[in-house]
């Protein structure tokens, strides 16, 4: 026997999404997707999203800043990868620029160094090919060329100092 999917009223969906937004930052596109999966039509889902935005449950700018900060801090992502993620969530380009500008420079460099050190353990940075592998790895993680080069140079100097000190 097949069960019929319960239809959710717009009010029940709004309450459910407000509860979700109160627990964690969400963006408009994610909430819209969730509402459509709950079975609401696009006009009803759009109305619910508008209500949540008006009630400040959803704020794309707040979401972008939180995502940028958390991805640098916990996942070691670079600005390019963060920007791509935010673009995939249909966040406005101006909001993305602001969120990326709010990333703490020191914390960003620490994240790049952590990502570089983790990869460098399996490489010999005296070798040109290994330095290029590390640069590519950092580029894939979303770090800009200048940041990646700085990390490679710092790690190379650290490796040389370790050899001299040993």
C-alpha atoms less than 13 angstroms from C-alpha of 94 in its C-beta half-sphere = 0
pLDDT at residue 123, as a whole number: 87
- Summarize the confidence of residues 69-87 as an average pLDDT: 96
- Summarize the confidence of residues 40-58 as an average pLDDT: 94
User: Could you give the percent of the chain with pLDDT greater than 70?
Assistant: 94
- Summarize the confidence of residues 17-26 as an average pLDDT: 94
**Whether the Cβ atoms of residue 22 and residue 35 lie closer than 8 Å to each other:** no
Say if 9-58 and 59-103 have the same CATH topology. Answer: yes
pTM of the model: 0.87
Tokens of 106: 């020191």
List pLDDT tens digits, range 125-166.
Answer: 888 999 999 999 999 999 999 999 999 999 998 888 776 665
115/108 Cα distance (integer angstroms)? 11
Q: 9-58, what's its fold?
A: Arc Repressor Mutant, subunit A (1.10.10)
Return the H-helix or E-strand segment holding 28.
helix 28-37
> For the domain bounded by 59-103, which CATH number is listed?
1.10.10
Please give the mean pLDDT across all residues of the chain: 92
List pLDDT tens digits, range 108-123.
Answer: 999 999 999 999 988 8
**Whether the Cβ atoms of residue 19 and residue 56 lie closer than 8 Å to each other:** no
Spans of all domains in the chain:
9-58, 59-103, 105-165
């Amino acid at each position: 026997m097949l069960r019929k999917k319960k239809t959710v009223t717009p009010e029940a969906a709004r309450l459910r999404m407000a509860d979700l937004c109160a627990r964690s930052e969400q963006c408009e596109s994610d909430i819209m997707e969730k509402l459509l999966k709950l079975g609401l039509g696009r006009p009803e889902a759009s109305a619910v999203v508008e209500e949540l935005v008006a009630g400040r449950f959803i704020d794309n700018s707040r979401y972008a800043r939180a995502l940028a900060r958390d991805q640098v801090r916990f996942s070691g992502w670079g600005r390019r990868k963060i920007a791509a993620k935010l673009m995939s969530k249909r966040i406005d380009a101006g909001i993305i620029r602001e969120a990326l500008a709010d990333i703490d420079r020191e914390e960003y460099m620490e994240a790049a160094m952590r990502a570089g050190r983790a990869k460098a353990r399996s490489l010999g940075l005296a070798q040109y090919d290994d330095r290029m592998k590390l640069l590519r790895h950092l580029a894939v993680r979303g770090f800009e060329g200048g940041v990646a080069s700085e990390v490679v140079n710092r790690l190379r100097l650290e490796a040389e100092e370790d050899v001299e000190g040993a």
